[in-house]
Amino acid sequence: MSASGAQTEVFRRPDGKPEVAGERGVSAAHYQDLTLAVAGTGPIGCDLEPVSDRPPCVWRALLGDERIALVPVVERRAKENPVVSATRVWAAGECLKRQERWLMPR
């Protein structure tokens, strides 16, 4: 991997989280033939999610009451479709989950 600024070997923990030697954090996400990888100091996470039109009840089930409340805020601020905003909130939540796994003991 070269996203860390140098050629670095990537190892996988038993939970699947990628890691490299040293103080850098790494994260990778895949969707079909796309891969997104990021590296940086400290906890880091990334996610790829296609924008899919889902009924409001499905979004609420996926996001929960607190995160579903963020969707109209993101929609207004980004001036975008609510489905795109809901997907953005979903992906941000997934990034946070990946960071939490980074913080868990190895």
Q: How far apart are CA 27 and CA 21, in angstroms?
A: 14
Per-residue pLDDT at 93: 92
Per-residue pLDDT at 101: 60
Per-residue pLDDT at 23: 74
Per-residue pLDDT at 27: 84
Q: How far apart are CA 25 and CA 43, in angstroms?
A: 6
Per-residue pLDDT at 26: 83
| Regions of the chain with pLDDT less than 50 | 1
